[in-house]
Amino acid sequence: MNFLIIILLVTSLLLTRVSRLKTAVTIILIQSFMVALACGIDGLEAGAVHMYVAAILTAVIKVGLIPYALLNIVEKLQYEREDHPILNVNSSSVTACIAIVLAYGLIDQALPGANSRDALATALAMTLIGLLIIMTRRQAIMQIVGLITMENGIYLVGLSATKGLPLIIEMGIFFDVLVAVVVLVILTHRLKLSGMSTDISRLKKLKG
């Protein structure tokens, strides 16, 4: 499990440094696969069948459907890089490192001696880094990647704190995320058709 936690932290940090959209989608695919694997391992240890279902749903939706839709859009873009983020990559990486230290400090303060300290701190750090990506990137694809990183972090919090939410709640969360991402993918697709770019800063040029 510690190995998975390290990979989740590394993938979250890498997302603050990438400029190629295709690379970002590939990283979020790997990160989501690690979350599905963590859910499957916890289900195996607890003998909980509903966690297998949650792991399969995670794999199908966040490792299969969403990355496929995002890569399909990226392949059609004329220019698939983000060269002018609001915060440059070095500053983003430093801020992400501060978020990780802050997450560990908060968990140590709130839950001293907790067995799942590393998993909870990683989950909180992923949530903060996802929020950072949403706030500092201009490309809609990167903002979707940030949203999925946040959701992966929140899901990991539930997994670490409760050893798996009831299946009906997990399915509700997956459905909400799926709907949100589908809407964003459709909007991104429309944005691409109008300007062959998913840079949301171009929306400022629109006039009513």
Q: Residue 200: what pLDDT?
A: 64
- The phi, psi pair for 113, rounded to 5°, reads 80, 10
For 7-49, the pLDDT digits (tens) are 999 999 999 999 898 999 999 999 999 988 988 888 888 777 7
- Helices marked H in the chain: 2-15, 21-46, 49-58, 66-76, 89-110, 117-136, 140-162, 167-195
Q: For residues 38 and 159, is the Cβ–Cβ distance under 8 A? A: yes
Q: For residues 96 and 16, is the Cβ–Cβ distance under 8 A? A: yes
For 49-99, the pLDDT digits (tens) are 777 888 888 888 888 888 888 888 888 777 778 778 888 889 999 999 999
Give the span between the Cα atoms of 106 and 134, in whole angstroms: 22
Q: Which residue has the higher pLDDT, 207 or 172?
A: 172
For 138-167, the pLDDT digits (tens) are 888 888 899 889 988 988 888 877 766 666
Mean pLDDT of the chain: 83
Rounded to the nearest 10°, the torsion over CA 168, 173, 176, 178 is: -100
Q: Which of 130, 135, 152 is nearest to 29 (CA)?
A: 152
Q: Residue 133: what pLDDT?
A: 93
Q: Residue 185: what pLDDT?
A: 73
DSSP state of 199: B
Lowest-confidence segment of 95-99, 111-115, 203-207 by average pLDDT: 203-207
Q: For residues 11 and 24, is the Cβ–Cβ distance under 8 A? A: no
